[in-house]
């Protein structure tokens, strides 16, 4: 089945980019097909998997006409796969789902309800829970301490919204909040498709954080106050990191010398010098955090 056969009347398009996802993709697909909201299309883009992923996906495609499976002849990388499913979405709303993550049954229903009733909201998500590794975020490690230094706002807010948080108001206020929040799980929320396509950024290192800063120009972000998304910790970090990104030519050498400089440059170019200078402490501390992360990666 091809993209051209997808129904244009569906309300939401769900994109699952995958490569060798046989271990978890069945769980992800089942969580989609178990949704209380049923007016969707599921686009699975397979980067030439060599495991059982094609057999699993084709089986679901045969069973449910809402499932569209595309198997590419060669692996063109995640930088191709993520934009591919978005580009081929024709519904009002769009959402990415990682092949090792899964939803609660009301994920679509509750988030779509928010988007339908709030025109100023460009993206909606529920609270996020990580699974796969115990004590993923420990308040005693250096990462937590550095993030506390670069965050501004209520500690209670950051404890409640540990991975995603709602924002509204002026663009610069929203951008500063998410810049300092330093979490990008909101890219797995539901967005207005045309707005997301308009604000999509190049798939380089830290693209997800930059995409959030970009999409905020189109409206506010809403968080449903209950856990609706479960993210896999090991999947979150496998193949990522500064050194891995450099080896895959996603990150240039200057990105190792000045980590997160691409975010700083984007903010300077797209938001302005005043914003950049007001948040200069974040950019400096993010470089220090980057160096710390690179050293940890090198020791593994």
* pLDDT at position 291: 84
Give me the chain's average pLDDT, please: 86
DSSP state of 91: S
User: What's the mean pLDDT in 282-289?
Assistant: 87
- Min mean pLDDT across 24-33, 92-101, 138-147, 268-277 is at 138-147
pLDDT tens for each residue of 134-166: 545 544 445 555 555 555 544 555 567 889 999
Calpha distance 12→4 (Å, rounded): 16
pLDDT reading at 6 higher than 50: no
* 254 has pLDDT over 70: yes
Neighbouring C-beta atoms of residue 2, cutoff 10 Å: 9
Q: Considering only the top CATH level, what class is 1-100?
A: alpha beta
Q: How confident is the model at residue 133 (pLDDT cuts 50, 70, 90)?
A: low
DSSP, res 38? -
For residue range 177-236, list pLDDT tens digits in order: 999 998 999 999 999 999 999 999 988 878 999 999 999 999 999 999 999 999 998 654
Strands (E), 86-182: 93-96, 102-103, 121-131
């Amino acid at each position: 089945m091809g993209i051209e056969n997808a129904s244009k009347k569906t309300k939401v398009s769900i994109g699952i980019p995958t490569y060798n996802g046989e271990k978890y993709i069945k769980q992800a697909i089942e969580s989609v097909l178990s949704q209380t909201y049923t007016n969707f299309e599921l686009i699975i883009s397979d980067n030439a998997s060599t495991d059982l992923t094609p057999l699993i996906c084709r089986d679901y495609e045969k069973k449910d006409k809402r499932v569209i499976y595309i198997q590419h002849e060669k692996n063109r990388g995640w930088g191709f796969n993520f934009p591919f499913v978005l580009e081929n979405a024709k519904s009002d709303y769009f959402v990415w789902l990682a092949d090792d993550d899964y939803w609660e049954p009301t994920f679509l229903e509750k988030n779509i309800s928010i988007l339908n009733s709030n025109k100023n909201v460009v993206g909606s998500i529920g609270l996020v829970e990580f699974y796969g590794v115990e004590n993923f975020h420990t308040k005693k490690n250096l990462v937590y301490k550095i993030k506390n230094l670069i965050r501004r706002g209520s500690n209670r807010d950051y404890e409640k919204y540990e991975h995603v948080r709602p924002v509204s108001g002026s663009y610069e206020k929203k951008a500063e909040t998410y810049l300092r929040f330093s979490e990008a799980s909101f890219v797995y929320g539901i967005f207005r498709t045309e707005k997301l396509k308009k604000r999509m950024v190049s798939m380089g290192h830290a693209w997800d954080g930059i995409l959030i800063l970009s999409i905020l120009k189109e409206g506010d972000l809403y968080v449903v106050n209950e856990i609706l998304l479960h993210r896999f910790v090991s999947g979150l970090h496998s193949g990522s990191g500064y050194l891995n990104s450099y080896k895959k030519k996603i990150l240039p050498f200057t990105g190792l010398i000045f980590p997160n400089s691409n975010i700083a440059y984007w903010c300077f170019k797209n938001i302005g010098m005043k914003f950049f200078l007001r948040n200069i402490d974040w950019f400096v501390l993010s470089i220090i955090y980057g160096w710390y992360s690179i050293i940890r990666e090198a020791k593994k």
